Chain A
Amino acid sequence: MTSGPISEIEAELAKLPPAVLEAYHQANDAVKESFGEEEIGLWAKEGLTIGTQTVRSWESAIEYYQVSPEVSKFLSFPSFMQWARCGTYLAQDSPTLAVSFFKSSVSIVPNLRPQYIPRWAGLGRSLYKGTWKSSTLAAKFFEVSPDLVRNLPFWDVEVFASLIEALSYKSYDVAGECLVLGRDVLPAMGREREPFLAMSRALIDTSWREVKTCLELVPRALQLVDESQTGRFLKLGERLAKVGLRDTSRFLSDGTQALSKVPQGSQGYILDLCDALVVLTPDAVPPFLRSLDDVLNRITVSQLDTWFQHGAKLLQDNPESGIAFFKIESNTSESMLETLSSSLELERVKGILRLYCRALAGTGLEIFDTGELVGRNIGWVDEDMASTDGTKVFLPPVVDHYPNKQDNFSWFKVVSTHQVAHLEFGSFDYEFEKPATQFEDLRHELEEKMLERKKAERAAAQAAYEMGAQQLASANEVDADMSAGFEDPNDMSSVRTFTDIGRYLEIFENARLGFDIFTVLEDCRLDYRIKVEYPGIKSASSRVQNETLEKRPRIEDMPLQQGLVELLIHMSLDQFQDLPVAKDYKEAAEMLSSILHQLRNSEANVEDTAEATLRAYEVISRVPNEQEEEEEFEEQDLEEPGDFSEEEYQSLVDQLQAGMEGSSDGGDGESYESPDPVDYRGDFKPEMVQLMTKLQADDGEEGEAQPMTQEMLEQLLQESPEMELDAEQGDVDSDMAQFAQNIMKEAGTPPPNSQPGEGYGPLLNDDESGGELEAREPETYVYDEWDFRANDYKPRWCIVKEKTVEEGDAAFYQESLKTYSSLANHIRRQFELIMPETMRKTYRLVDGEDIDLNAAIEAWADLKMGVPPDDKIYWHRNRNERQVAVVFLLDMSASTAEAIDEGRQTVDDRDAPDDPVEYMVWLRRRREGLVRRNYKRIIDLEKEGTTLLINALESIGDTYGIYGFSGYGRENVEFYVIKDIEENFSDKVKRRIDKITPLHATRMGAAIRHAATKLEKQQAKTKIMFLISDGRPQDRGYSREGVEKEYAVHDTHMALVEARRKDIIPFCLTVDKAGHDYLKSMCGDMGYEVLADIWSLPERLPMLYRQLTANNRA
């Protein structure tokens, strides 16, 4: 490029209007500071080029010269020239454009990287289409650019510009307005800007007029949506815009409005649903969002799922009716909301029911929904039936029998009261040998009979077998001792006798009939007891009973035998009048009624039920199971059958027996079938419960009896009528082995599924025997250990190695605080409440440290005046000053890696299926997953608890240290520092919390001793040691001869005692439900708590601490 002498250029410039030269001269001096001689020439020349582009481009040149000094400060010369040349090109097209370009440059250049300048110029240029309107638009673009560039990444500016360009094809006016709006709105946006621009872009093709409205609406609208969800929301808008939704702006305002009213944290879920709808029928999304508020006022978010699924199904079949559904303009939708809103989910009342059941039963019952029980696959298969396994009560997940919540709750109450009654009134405590109170004992006699009967059967079978064997033997000359394989017929011990109830139930020849009668009679006994003991629930339970009665099948339609069982059921449901009874069996019915009435007595116990069952069975089993004509039935009143008498019973049985033998012409009629279950009474499985309890008990101590093998268990299950019953409903037989396996698992300790975590140090493995240890390395300490048998310390027995936990990510700390934000605030507030006023003098007291001079003088003056003086003349220093030092010891043993929520799999977000139907399923599963989140380990809860605690402790300024302990063997007790007691809280500590990992074993004693040593050095008046563990102390060689569990417990106890001698207050918190037994001996009279609900750990931990120190005073 030729750079002529300056004077030449100046001469040329002079040809242009004089203002140009003037501007040039003015700029010249300033520019000299930035540019060299030669560069000035180029600079001047470029101005001339600009000025001579077109007729009116001299205006641009003036602007060029005017801004040059300012611009030159920010750009190197090559960049400067590049910038100038951009102006030149623009001037070529339109001088006005160039003028605006130069004008905005002053404020743009400081904020824009030089390499973007040509692109920026290009953006403006692309808006210019040669028309007057377009040049105004382009000029306006340059005008707003500084604001955009300052606040937006350049990439977004480009997207926005292209949006404006696209819009300009539709209307320059709108484009211009949007440009200005964008300047105001876009900078305030965060992450949502990009999706918003994408959505707007999509709008242009379908309804470009909406863009402006959207821009106007968006700032306010998005405030209503969770920050994390705005992106998804806009993306949804984009998808809708793409498929041609008309009023996106309305969607924007309505949608955000709707989302703002959704309960916290569920916005994401609602958007999930919307996404699902877009796939099906995009038009359904806006009505759905509009109805949402209404709907959620009536039902909960989790119920929404059911309603939504239904609508979605409708959409698939018929979009019209689907949309009407979502608009709540269809009957289906309305009635569905009606049912849902009155239905009651177990989840919502679980807490109340749990405490209710616990109060009634007096044991630490848990409530679960029935799905859980079925999921365990140990023999319970019906999801709709309530049940109990002795330690837990299972209830159906939802109740919607009644049109309002109150009644539905009463139903829950009636059902759970019945289940608890099994425990409270001892259904599972049946003892074969315990005498009945209302009946004479008949079972021994009948058991004899049964055994004889079996013996006879076996003998017959053996005879047949032996005959076969003989034939075989004679034919084949095989070893004749084959009969050895056949059991001795005299050996009658059956697996069923494993439990008392099993032994009893085995008496019945027709096991199913026997068990059915037993169930009815026991339920009858319980319902009666409930009515007597809990009169308050009478009306609710009578209502349930009456409704149940209405649904019972007609006795007349049933074969006689089944009819009599049904008759018992009717009577157990409190119907005694107008009962249809076959004429021939009037006495039998009366007898049954009087047997049943024996049980309607507060003194009757489960043994009475058993005896009653034996008698009822004897009667009913002697009645042929035949269909009887309707005319043969008569309405009977069985309210007062008269007292039961053994004689009458006996004569009736004899009579029936005779009748049976007399008419043994054509078989016994139809085979017996169990009656329909009585819904509210649920599943009653006494044998299973006794079995489980016994297996669990045997597991604890080495039983002297032969242990139950899986084969025996399978056989037992096969024979038990409880299982037989269910076989109809599900394909149980094939699963019997599976059941048996699961039951064994339930009963015993589950195999350890947790691998020791990755350690921080190598595992040393010294020999167990051996003597005193020496601490050679730095940061290692030696402690004695208590041997309770020797009643003495083993000197210098353990080496504690102090290590600092690695630093991880501080995000865990922040996350936990966020997850528990409301709880964290609550705890903090609580802590602040105990924050004492430090050392403040209180004046005018009747007694105190010293005379309060002012008061004393006043009193003295009063005295002189002869007036009784005020006697409050002392001051006292408020001694409430809080001086607490606390050490937290976290159990980092391998067992803390155990998942709390076993078997729940995390659902992966990424594999969302494309098919809408599958998507629904996936979504539902995801939703369920969300309720309980992912599975958590004990240690996670420990960590979260620690986080909350730190947060709270920082607010009151107690001195505290947090340590973890683990280890392997006595020479390697690991003591991890998370926050040393002298250390200040910092990000380091936050990061260390993240790295708390389950490691090896737990040698508590040594860890406690080390912590006590640390604490002892503290000056505080109150010193507390807080131990958080998940089980008993355990370690290799942490026992005498490697077997005695007590050794560890005793040593730990001794360590705690030592701590207390040092004026340290120890407190143990354990999440081990079985903790009560050993904690008692471990902690003695020191404080401890067993956490019943492990999920409450993060909450409980700070609260306990608060309680523990709340009344601290000097």
Chain B
Amino acid sequence: MVEAAPETQAHYTEYAIEEFLVRDEPYYRPIGDEIELFTAAYRQHIPVLLKGPTGCGKTRFVEYMAWQLGRPLAVVKEDGDETESLKEGEIRVPLVTIACHEDLTASDLVGRYLLDANGTRWIDGPMTRAVKAGAILYLDEVVEARKDTTVLIHPLTDHRRILPIEKTGSIIEADDRFLLCVSYNPGYQSALKDLKHSTRQRFISIEFYYPPADIETEIIQRESGCSKEHADALAKLGEKIRNLEEHGLQEGASTRLLIYAGRLMSEGIPPRRAAQVAIVWTLTDDPELQRSLEEVASSIFE
């Protein structure tokens, strides 16, 4: 394993991947019972599938859960021999996040042999390290990954909880604290990017959608530090723009985008302009659609 202590330098902090802990409580505003569900699934070793459109808080939720589950009180460790003593506020559930992309192969996850001056050397991939360290492994946008990754996901997600490493000929049993969590955006309409049922049915699914207007206002205000009026208006804008899904827009404005707009506003950018650059131009390249969205924004913002 790699050295444990994070190297701290003047301008940045570098962690080994499985050492990355969510230290400060991330802001997460629950909408339903998702926290209870996730906690229960974690205790029961049930992998979790988070469904929802982009920017609605899936990643933030996982971060929050990693923090929440890692708090001493919540830690499930019945074996007794606690050798390591936790410092105040320290967390024990690392979070390994992997953004999946089209070229992500199984060996990117598991690890590979590398050449160096002394011959070949095996390097664990992030998934292996997460399995060993007992982290929450979060595969973001899992449908994007290549199909061969399912070979790894399947044995990890059923009762076996093992990770076979073909190249080294070994099998790793997952740490007790390990949990696989994947996210998936069903909005993409590509027939070829669907999760197979054999994969889907290894997870419990928690559905996410953009929060209702009042909660979204709260989130925007909290996250961006803009005024209540602006947050209110942004939430309204988000709601209106989402009305256009299916009517030309592929996906509505995400909460994240609304927060970006709010942040620009709190820096003193005029609201209409902020909405334009953060939301309208980001969402579409179609001039007519842009114009329509701008008209909506200019109705809502003075």
A interface residues with partner B (beta carbon < 8 Å): 351-356, 358-364, 413, 417, 533-538, 846-847, 859, 863, 866-871, 873, 1022, 1024, 1065, 1067, 1087, 1089, 1092, 1107-1113
Contacts and interface: CB of A to CB of B under 8 A. Distances in A.
B288 A351 contact: yes
Interface residues of B, number: 40
Interface stretch (B4-12, B14-22, B294-302): B294-302
B117 A866 contact: yes
A867 B288 contact: no
A1111 B190 contact: yes
Contacts of B192: 1022, 1065, 1108-1109, 1111-1113
A538 B297 CA distance: 13
Contacts of A866: 117
Contacts of B248: 355
Contacts of B300: 533-536
Contacts of B301: 535-536
Contacts of B117: 863, 866-869
B240 A359 contact: yes
CB-based closest 7 A-B pairs: A355-B292, A362-B243, A534-B299, A1065-B191, A359-B240, A537-B299, A535-B302
Contacts of B299: 356, 360, 413, 417, 534, 536-537
A869 B117 CA distance: 7
A360 B112 contact: no
B289 A1113 contact: no
Contacts of B240: 359-360, 362
Given A359-B293, A536-B301, A1108 B190 contact: yes
14 contacts: A358-B243, A358-B247, A359-B241, A359-B244, A359-B292, A360-B243, A363-B243, A364-B247, A536-B301, A863-B119, A869-B115, A1109-B190, A1109-B192, A1111-B190
A1087 B190 CA distance: 9
A1024 B192 CA distance: 10
B193 interface: yes
B291 interface: yes
Interface string B81-108: 0000000000000000000001001011
B170 interface: no
Contacts of A859: 115
A534 B233 CA distance: 9
A1107 B295 CA distance: 29
Contact of A868 (B116, B288, B296): B116
A352 B189 contact: no
Contact of B244 (A355, A538, A868, A1022): A355
A535 B297 CA distance: 10
Contacts of B108: 847
Given A355-B289, A846-B112, A847-B105, A1024 B241 contact: no
A1089 B105 CA distance: 32
B292 A1111 contact: no
Nearest to A860: B115
A533 B213 CA distance: 13
Contacts of A413: 295, 299
A359 B242 CA distance: 7
Contacts of A1110: 190
A586 B272 CA distance: 44
Contacts of A871: 114-115
B120 to A, nearest CB: 9
Contacts of A537: 298-299
B115 A359 contact: no
A895 to B, nearest CB: 24
A355 B247 contact: yes
Nearest to A533: B236
A1085 to B, nearest CB: 9
B193 A352 contact: no
A1108 B194 CA distance: 11
A870 B116 CA distance: 8
Contacts of B295: 352, 356, 413
Given A358-B243, A1112-B192, 14 more contacts: A352-B291, A355-B293, A360-B243, A535-B300, A536-B298, A846-B112, A859-B115, A866-B117, A1022-B192, A1065-B192, A1087-B189, A1107-B189, A1108-B190, A1113-B192
A24 B276 CA distance: 94
A27 to B, nearest CB: 77
B225 to A, nearest CB: 21
Contacts of B241: 359
Nearest to B190: A1111
Given A352-B291, A863-B115, A867-B117, A361 B102 contact: no
Contacts of B119: 863
A1073 to B, nearest CB: 12
A1108 B297 contact: no
A1022 B190 CA distance: 12
Contacts of A846: 112
Contacts of A1022: 192
A16 B82 CA distance: 139
A1109 B192 CA distance: 7
Contacts of A1111: 102, 190, 192-193
A870 B114 CA distance: 9
Nearest to B123: A871
A413 B107 CA distance: 56
